[in-house]
Amino acid sequence: MVPGLLSKMSITCPLPDLETAPIAVIGLGYVGLPLAVEFGKTRPVIGFDINPDRIAELKQGQDTTLEVSPEELAASAHLNFTSELSDIAKCQVFIVTVPTPIDTSKTPDLRPLRSASRSVGSVLKRGDVVIYESTVYPGATEEDCAPLLEELSGLTLNTDFSAGYSPERINPGDKSHRLTDIVKVTSGSHPEAADFVDALYASIITAGTYKAENIRVAEAAKVIENTQRDLNIALVNELAVIFGKLGIDTEAVLQAAGTKWNFLPFRPGLVGGHCIGVDPYYLTHKAEAVGHSPEIILAGRRMNDGMGAYVAHEMIRNMALKGIHVGASRVLVMGLAFKENCPDIRNTKVIDVIEALQSYGVTVDVFDPWIDPEETQAEYGITPVAAVTADAYDGLVLAVAHQEFRAMSEGELRAPLKEQHVIYDVKAMLPRGMDGVVRL
């Protein structure tokens, strides 16, 4: 049977009651927790995570990802948390929201997804529904996950249990576009399952749902959303490099071009995090598996992956032009999170800037009020400074546009700097023409 074809066929497979079926959300990060909270307002939900520390903080009403407030947690009256697999055995709907990272060779790392599938499979019962939200390549749900569910449960997909895929669209740190405000793509392993999954999400998503014709279409739709963004950012990053060599201000060019109604408002920058900098590799992996060597997608990835080294090189070049002794210099990097107003440091490309500066002999300090110092030390071996010393630095890299940094005056930004200095403004936060300021 061709994967995805079953979704076009009528299947006789039991389904739980749409209104009362208890839900288990597997993985309580940026994606899973908001979902569990929203469903938990009206129906029984168990949030499951393998990290007992995460469960402990959530039980205390705190979310260190800052995606859900204590008030929102308290309002989810039917939500409970656990790290014990036996606690979710009575659930009838399982929603998997675990990370799907890449490894050091930029190959999809499905270990968290497979582990979650085995866990769900061990408690799966006849009539249950398993829905995946994790970003994957087309075919992963039916080709990689469903066999594990079948193996561990002894049940058969579309005979004993159903599957669905509804890709997450969470934007960490964005308080304007929340879970319920974003149209939700849904799909199922057969028509009745597709209807069930769509109706389930429609009960909480005020923006509405879009039912894809099958799971593979929904998987592909998700993976190209971030691939498209990645390529658009890669284009403006390359333009920034070109304009830099031509002595033209990139932001001024983009503002001028933006006066045309159909010009897309992308800006150059460091492309990290667990979505845009990762998802394209899932698509290219699958493309290569079926005999196609992607060119445009991987070219965009190479461009974006190289921007950290480019920023560092330009910083060093401008410091040298000012007569600053690079090997004896100190640089302050403001911002380490992968994006503004967010504590997440996973796959941050600011680390590339730091390591490249250090390769020139520069002493680098990092200041970021959003991040967890212990997590930063464990992940990158960096201890962020808690406060900034005056007149201590030869250079400043404005790497992340946190609201606290945008609110700082020119005097506050220059306070840590020596008289002779360079400021490299990655996010175009500062006005053009400021003395000593270089913009990407």
DSSP line for 8-46: GS--------TTT--EEEE--STTHHHHHHHHTTTS-EE
Give the residue from 279, 308, 298 showing the smallest Cα distance to 426. 308
Q: How far is CA 211 from the centre of its chain?
A: 23
* CA pair distance 255, 178, nearest whole angstrom: 28
Distance CA 142, CA 23 (A): 21
Q: What is the torsional sign of CA 220, 225, 228, 229?
A: negative
Q: Give catalytic status of residue 13 as yes or no.
A: no
Name the packing angle between helices 250-257 and 215-246 (round to 10°).
120
- Residue 30: burial class (beta carbons within 10 Å; 0-12, 13-18, 19+): buried
91 C-beta neighbours (distance < 10 Å), count: 25
Please pick, among 13, 91, 145, 275, the residue that the annotation labels catalytic.
275
Tell me the C-alpha distance between 335 and 62, whole Å. 24
Active-site positions?
275
